[in-house]
Amino acid sequence: MIADDAKFMATITERLLKKMGHEIVFKAHNGEEAVQYFEQHGNTVDLILLDVVMPKMDGLQALRHILAIDPRAKVIMVTAISNTSIVTGAMRVGAREFVTKPFRLSEFVRAINKVIEL
């Protein structure tokens, strides 16, 4: 699942994941949509790419809700904000990995493969 309010980034991320052989089960435009989808269909989601800055519910709030539903959820936080406290906070809450936009392809692929193998 991809949760990103920027259509351009969601589209690029989707294309990269498909090239890696992954299927996108849902694209959320905000954290609230991501949480609602995960509540109903969490068993179909192997990995979540979650943007930090989104409307209605930000990525950190969504991360907390998702992990409350399933503490084993595999979440990679994605953001254009390279703030160490945000990265540390997300990892402390339970994110498995963090990727900063614009990301290098090798960095993106490494993060995806690392988290999927957990």
pLDDT tens per residue across all 118 residues of the chain: 999 999 998 999 999 999 999 999 999 999 999 999 999 999 999 999 999 999 999 999 999 999 999 999 999 999 887 677 888 888 899 999 999 888 889 999 999 999 998 7
Q: Are 58 and 40 in contact (CB under 8 A)?
A: no
Q: What is the DSSP letter of 21?
A: T
Chosen CATH of 2-117 out of 1.25.40.20, 3.40.630.70, 3.40.50.2300, 3.30.420.40:
3.40.50.2300
CA 59 to chain CA centroid, Å, is 8
Question: What residue spans define the domains of the chain?
Answer: 2-117
